[in-house]
Amino acid sequence: MITARFSLLVMLLSGCLCGCAAKQTDAPPPTTKSPSATTAITPLSPFIRRIFEDRSGRLWFGTNGDGVACYNGKVVEFFSVKEGFPGEAVRAIVQDKHDAIWFGTDHGLIKYDGARFTTYTTKDGLAHDDIWSVIIDRDGLLWIGTFGGVSRFDGKTFTAFPLPAVEPNLDVGVTSARMVMCIMQDKGGRMWFGTPGGAFVCDGNSCTNISKADGLCDNSVNDILEDRQGRIWFATHHNGICYRVGNKFTHITAKDGVNGTEAWDLYEDPAGNIWFPIENSGVYRYDGKTFTNFGEAQGLSTNAIQCTYQDRSGRLWLGGWQGLFRYDDETIIRVGKDGPWDAMKALGPSVSK
């Protein structure tokens, strides 16, 4: 276990965990261009892959090579290897009931308790140091999906949760027979796992594989979400989005107004809208009846969004290639190291380097 201590610095932050068929498309949103179209902005990071708001209002941004950044309404702080935060790619961020923040990274599981960072690796019993997903279940246990399988962690001991090996997806850059891309617990307590060989659902007694043979749109599953109506949504690598009701699958396609095949993220906002980005096709919102697309016309200057998150103020954040973006009801604004941050108030303490 590696520990790096940090003292508290300035007063910080505001916000910083890492889940109906429609046959028509909404009229497109207004086409007002984002200021980013004409103004040079230094990106927060070349690639933002996870966004999370903690209980004190701080916003945390997991990057794909620059560690983690945290914003409090006044300043942005960065934490990477040279600051004692060993993770370079940060793919999951969650907060436990004790307010500790956990980061799933390419160099282990990292805990921030408000005063220091502590890193857990295979030396402590973790299945693999390359982490792709982290959730906290209803009992407070951490579930960690890695390149080499699944671990559970109660804060003291890691326990392996074995899943059957699958056929690796050799068409993507990173894959293995044990890789788990995402984890989700449904309302019934069942655990769902997205892998290169389909999804697994485990009920405490047994695990069942769900694949293309059962109607799943693609076996390479990047994300799984249960919406408030109980539908199970799947974001897949080669065949877009589908959802399951009972044992029946519905595949969302161009006939529904949704284009593209490579989908990484699913997010349900507090109003019940389902958001998902698709490579080269922008971001889609499903309101229960229609799909609305957000892209270049609305100010989105990247073709590769990978995560979506709405903070408690109602602002929708988008992260991906070219950094961070914010949807302001009419346009998509690119947000760099110097903002624009939309007058966020400093609510939490900064994290000292």
Q: How far apart are CA 269 and CA 119, in angstroms?
A: 31
Give the tens place of pLDDT for each residue, 41-65: 899 999 999 999 999 999 999 999 9
Residue 8 has pLDDT above 70, yes or no: no
Q: How far apart are CA 260 and CA 156, in angstroms?
A: 43
Q: Is-contact 195 179, C-beta < 8 A?
A: yes
What pLDDT score does 350 carry?
58
Q: How far apart are CA 220 and CA 196, in angstroms?
A: 4
pLDDT band at 328 (very low <50, low <70, confident <90, very high): confident
Top-confidence residue, 168 or 82: 168
Give the tens place of pLDDT for each residue, 111-127: 999 888 999 999 999 99
**For residues 312-323, average pLDDT:** 95
Q: How far apart are CA 117 and CA 105, in angstroms?
A: 13
**For residues 8-28, average pLDDT:** 35
Q: Is-contact 127 150, C-beta < 8 A?
A: yes
Q: Which amino acid is at 29?
A: P
* Sequence-ordered alpha helix ranges (H) in 217-307: none
Residue 5 has pLDDT above 60, yes or no: no
**For residues 301-317, average pLDDT:** 95
What pLDDT score does 249 carry?
98
**For residues 17-31, average pLDDT:** 38
Select 2-18+20-351's CATH number: 3.40.1160.10, 1.20.90.10, 2.130.10.10, 1.10.3720.10: 2.130.10.10
Domain ranges of the chain: 2-18+20-351
Q: How far apart are CA 135 and CA 224, in angstroms?
A: 12
The residues near 292 (Cβ < 8 Å, ≥ 6 apart) are: 25, 26, 28, 29, 284, 285, 286
**For residues 166-172, average pLDDT:** 92
Question: Which residue, 158, 68, 147, is CA-closest to 120?
Answer: 158
Provide the β-strand partners of residue 109: 104, 120
pLDDT band at 351 (very low <50, low <70, confident <90, very high): low
What pLDDT score does 349 carry?
55
CB atoms within 10 A of CB 338: 10
